[in-house]
Amino acid sequence: MSNRRKNLNWLNVYAVVYMVFLYAPVVLLPIFAFNSATIIAFPLSGFTTEWFGVLWTTQALHDAVWNSMLVSVSTAVISTVLGLFAARAVARYTFPFQRGIMGLVMLPLVLPEIIIAVALLIVLIQLGLSLSLWTVVLGHVLVCTPFSIAVLSSAFRGLDPSMEEASFDLGETHWGTFRRVTFPLVMPGVISSLLITFTISLDEFIIAFFLTGTEVTLPVYIWSQMRFPTKLPSIMALGTILLALTVALLILAEFFRRRSATRRGLDASTTEGLI
């Protein structure tokens, strides 16, 4: 009995240490964002919202945010559409070399991004294409599609194949079946896929750094600002805003997932349809 309690104590300590290590740096972000000193160090000197004001007036940042939005939204939509097709095909059909083909499609998941970035750069230059935000989208789609396939495959696995057959049997066309039955039923997976690919694309640095032309995405912009110590506090402020947005997005995603799970008669606390 005492032995078990001892084990429990050690587990508690481990859990707390782990959480602190994971989240303490994240908590530092908003703390220094509201600190009036330009040096990132304790003790804190005073409260200010000045750094947020700086963000508000920095045109280059606004451009970077806009570029990132363009890239991330395009990547999310394109890779989710591609993922939808691939996941549907894998779940419903068997075709020659299925495993090999899927292995190749999923490979970017484990390939170092620097290799993808350099390889793509060489190919693009050889093709004589000029670098732009669209070449970044190209690279991001390559990296994000495997995530999308993974998320959507589980959504399709949870889908009874006779649902589609029933619709077809009742006189609906293939496209009508997809629109009226398949898509609504894998909707939670589609939303998860959009959110995940959006997030991956939004904070991706290496590919964006290599493949962009004169327009920079947000991570590249942040990296470029890190060289100037005076800009650090406003980077903290920017980080704080991104953190708040991410949390809000996650809560929203979870809300939608639970609502659809309830509608489908699943226990809302299950993770089915999320990943």
In the complex with another protein, which residue's Cβ is closer, 122 or 166? 166
In the complex with another protein, which residue's Cβ is closer, 143 or 152? 152
In the complex with another protein, which residue's Cβ is closer, 21 or 175? 175
As a whole number of angstroms, the distance between CA 6 and CA 1 comes to: 9
Residues near another protein (CB under 8 A) are 160, 162-163, 165-173, 176, 180-181, 184-185, 263-265
State the minimum distance, in angstroms, from the CB of residue 217 to another protein: 37
Residue given tokens 């060489």 in the structure block: 122
Is 207 in contact with 140 (CB distance < 8 Å)?
yes
As a whole number of angstroms, the distance between CA 29 and CA 134 comes to: 31
In the complex with another protein, which residue's Cβ is closer, 25 or 171? 171
Token pair of 265 as six digits? 């008669």
State the minimum distance, in angstroms, from the CB of residue 159 to another protein: 10
State the minimum distance, in angstroms, from the CB of residue 97 to another protein: 17
State the minimum distance, in angstroms, from the CB of residue 271 to another protein: 18
State the minimum distance, in angstroms, from the CB of residue 115 to another protein: 40
Kindly report the number of other CB atoms within 10 A of residue 275's CB atom.
Answer: 13
In the complex with another protein, which residue's Cβ is closer, 3 or 271? 271
Name the CA dihedral angle for 253, 258, 260, 262, rounded to a multiple of 10 degrees: 180
As a whole number of angstroms, the distance between CA 84 and CA 190 comes to: 8
As a whole number of angstroms, the distance between CA 67 and CA 261 comes to: 34
Question: Which are the contacts of 27, defined by CB distance < 8 A and separation ≥ 6?
Answer: none
State the minimum distance, in angstroms, from the CB of residue 123 to another protein: 40
In the complex with another protein, which residue's Cβ is closer, 6 or 263? 263
As a whole number of angstroms, the distance between CA 89 and CA 82 comes to: 11
